[in-house]
Amino acid sequence: MDEFPVTTIVAATGFLAGIVFGGVANKTNFCTMGALSDIVFMEDYTRFRSWMLAMTVAIIGSQALHVMGMVDLYTTIYQTTNFGWLGAIIGGLMFGFGMSMAGGCANKNLVRIGGGNLKSIVVVLVMGIFAYMTLRGLVGMARVELEAISNVDLSEMELASQGIIDMIASIGGSDPEAIRVSVTTVIVLGLLFYIFKDDEFRSSGNAILGGTIIGLLVPLGWWLTGVLGFDDFEPLPLFSFTFVAPAGESIQYLMTFTGSTINFGIATVGGVIVGSFLVALTSNTFRIESFSDGSDMARHLVGATIMGIGGVLALGCTVGQGITGMSTLAMGSLIALVSIIIGGLIGLKYLEEGTLGGAIKALLSSD
């Protein structure tokens, strides 16, 4: 493969990995917003545990790669010393609320595009545009100001990163690498106990399969960009699955193909759609679906807008922070994840109650 540029190799393998992601997510109905909806309306935690399983498997694989020296998780965007705690909270709340309005998170809407959902095409386009506006456009000015007034430089506290392991090591006065395996083991065992203590989940083959395969794809992404894509003369950033910013980059790439270079994120966006389409086609579940009325379209547009802005502020989505970011055991990812869950629960209650105040009141008063 020496005759191919490293970017092409990484993009091609990323596209294949995206096909697997999209196919598995479609086949097993892997969906974060659906998981929260199941909890709120049916008190069913099966899909939520599947999401937690994906996170746990991703943690095991990613930390193993780091311990073996194959990748350096400190070089990811999740482990910097620039601790954007407020962006994680605001962005997470926005993304969670937005995905409820838009009928699903970023990866779910990509999966739905493959299944024939025309609403999701609109959602992904609007989300991608506002994500790019928040990265480099008009909304980006507000983002920069927010970061300037709230971000904390952890290096001033003599911390090497915002990793949970580094913070624990700092408190105990030990070397982060000396406690990495033990801390990771405690976290993983706690998660696995919660996940598999439920009889219904243990009997759900689809939920276990979906969580396991999607979780494995995250360390695969690190390996593809950090090992297969390693090049002294053309270094690539260490990257894995996330879908908000790559959706915006994909739109730009489609518009400026001759002057652009494809990357792992863009390739996985396309792969997810293709993988979902193949499963929908072979399982005879491909269906064209459109907006039912004007209010349905307006709700999806608002949700997509909020998701695009929030996903960039939080540095990721339910996959980007909730699985990929969490696999690095970053404190910012944990804050973003909790905020996304809270935002999603508020959004679901808002759809039920009709007002934001009523939604928060209903959520606080629920058992």
- Does pLDDT of 2 surpass 60? no
- Does pLDDT of 338 surpass 70? yes
β 82-83/152-153 pair status:
antiparallel
Q: What is the pLDDT of residue 127?
A: 97
24-77 per-position pLDDT tens digit: 999 999 998 999 999 999 999 999 999 999 999 999 999 999 999 999 999 999
Neighbours of 266 (CB within 10 A): 24
Residue-averaged pLDDT of the chain? 94
What are the extents of the domains in the chain? Answer: 6-365
Question: Confidence band (pLDDT; 50, 70, 90) for 354?
Answer: confident
Vertex 26: Cα angle to 25 and 32 (nearest 5): 50
| CA-to-CA separations, 161 to 152, 227, 360, in angstroms, rounded | 11, 22, 34
Nearest to 21 by CA among 217, 178, 168: 217
Contacts (Cβ under 8 Å, ≥6 apart) of 224: 10, 13, 14, 17, 264
Could you write out the DSSP letters of every residue in 293-342? SHHHHHHHHHHHHHHHHHHHHTTS-TTIIIIIIHHTTBHHHHHHHHHHHH
Nearest to 102 by CA among 131, 129, 127: 127
Query: In whole angstroms, what separates CA 30 from the centre of its chain?
Result: 13
Nearest to 109 by CA among 13, 28, 55, 33: 33
H/E element, 152: strand 152-153
* Distance, CA of 206 to CA of 272 (rounded, Å): 18
For the chain, the farthest-separated pair of C-alpha atoms sits apart, in whole angstroms, at 62
Contacts (Cβ under 8 Å, ≥6 apart) of 129: 248, 251, 308
Q: What is the pLDDT of residue 260?
A: 80
Task: Tell me the whole-structure pTM to 2 decimals.
Answer: 0.94
221-236 per-position pLDDT tens digit: 999 999 998 877 777 8
Could you write out the DSSP letters of every residue in 75-86? GSGGG-SEE-HH
- Amino acid letter, residue 205: G
DSSP assignment letter at 227: I
258-302 per-position pLDDT tens digit: 778 899 999 999 999 999 999 999 999 999 999 999 999 999 999
Neighbours of 338 (CB within 10 A): 16
